[in-house]
Chains A and B, each alone.
Chain A
Amino acid sequence: MAYGFEAKNDSGNIIINDTIENLHFFGKATRGSADSDYGDIPGYSGSNDTLDGRVVHTYTITCSGTPVAFIKPADYARWHAIIKQSVSGTTWTFQVMISGTSTSNPPEVYCFVNADDVPSSSETHGMQVFKSDGTTKTFDSRKQPLAITGGGTAVAPSDPTNTGGTPGTTTGHSWNYASNDHDFRSSSQYTAVSDSAANTSTAMFSCPSLAQAVYKRQMHGFKCSDHNWWKSGCQEHHSTAAWWVMYRSAFRLRSGNFDAGWTGYAAGYSFSSSYESGGWFGGGGGSYSTGSMPYTAKTINLQSNAFIIADSSRFD
């Protein structure tokens, strides 16, 4: 370089310069409402009814620039993910999904912005670095710069369910049969990425949730019986039972590992039963449904995603 400023770390790599902006801690987002649901499949009771459950906490923060958000779990055993980020004016809203149904122990969301988006400070001491235009700030020691401790790339396994394989549609069940044989929970479905920075005390991570999936199990039942009145022929009885769960990719910090997995976001159950008209005694049927499957069963956006780990205690 002919002029300007560079600071290199102990490995000889640039960590501050006058051409690329550093991220600085802006603050923690404010937590608002929480929505807890799906500890089981709505409207259904029977085998494999239990799900992992999920809580969606909503956070807001007002800042110029686009914040990079880190999740600091309060309960490291649970799965976490930012599933939505939106902005109105300069107020950003994050939806953070965590596994389980307890609304206690919500995570904290640490937000970082570019040096140039850091608000002015009344502190008169410190160091600022500007680009060659003399106005765009790349570094300001008065706001805590982001230092990272780990990171890499991660992708969840394609199958989000503890019962391996895609649950399909089967026929040949008895009429009105409705007993789910697929474990839709995700507790054992994750990819572990070794990272020495991962711990369960002060570590926090940034890794948006991209992957989604819908899994569905469907069973068709049938019975052929004599017509009641004239005792001959076949009066057809049909039934359909279906269970579905929608998933979002989620993440977990363990000692020495960053895990990419899944958490169920929504679920539903439907049942319908009908039979052919049979003279004086036939006809009719019934149906029941909870929720609406968002799209046909599939996994989408299953792509490797960059994650970053930092030590939250530096910013408290």
Chain B
Amino acid sequence: MAHGLNVYKADGSLGFSTADVTWQTLDQFTVAANASVSNTYNEASGFTIIAQRQLVNVPPNAQEDYVPNVTVNGTTVSVAPQSGLSSSQCIIHVLSQDT
């Protein structure tokens, strides 16, 4: 390589380098049923932010499990129940990528 950073594994093979692309983790948290959360991540200013949602402890064949809505506005990530609906407990992974 002419320039950049290579990170090698213990066996000497290349593990990660400046040729790679990644998503970094801004935050991980669990939102209780019917709860709302709003967090701001100033360290990710200028980055693309996404949030993955994973329902927790869903009994998939027994009830209606509504996932909460997630909105990303700048560096603020807001989680809230869908309008007029009760939301289920949900894991939120907030990821960022410099783009």
Contacts and interface: CB of A to CB of B under 8 A. Distances in A.
Interface of A: 7-11, 13-17, 19-23, 65-66, 68, 82-87, 95, 114, 123, 125-127, 138, 141-142, 144-149, 151, 206-208, 210, 212, 246, 248, 265-266, 294-295, 300-301, 303, 305-306, 308, 314
Interface string B2-37: 001101111000011011111111101010000000
A266 B28 contact: no
A149 B65 CA distance: 32
A220 B79 CA distance: 44
B64 A22 contact: no
A294 B61 contact: yes
Interface of B: 4-5, 7-10, 15-16, 18-26, 28, 30, 43-44, 47, 50-58, 60-67, 69, 91, 93, 95-99
A145 B52 contact: no
Contacts of B99: 13
Contacts, number: 139
Given A86-B57, A146-B22, A7 B28 contact: no
Contact of B18 (A15, A206, A248): A15
6 smallest beta-carbon distances between A and B, as pairs: A13-B98, A147-B20, A14-B98, A208-B54, A20-B24, A19-B43
A212 B65 contact: yes
Given A85-B91, A86-B57, A301-B66, A145 B43 contact: no
Q: Chain A interface mostly helix, strand, loop or mixed?
A: strand
A65 B27 CA distance: 11
A206 B93 CA distance: 11
5 contacts: A13-B98, A15-B21, A295-B64, A300-B65, A300-B66
A34 B4 CA distance: 46
Contact of A9 (B10, B19, B26, B55): B19
Contacts of B67: 210, 301, 303
Nearest to B14: A314
Contact of A13 (B7, B65, B97): B97
A296 B18 CA distance: 52
A19 B27 CA distance: 12
Nearest to A266: B61
A176 to B, nearest CB: 29
A9 B64 CA distance: 44
Contacts of A23: 22-25
B57 A141 contact: no
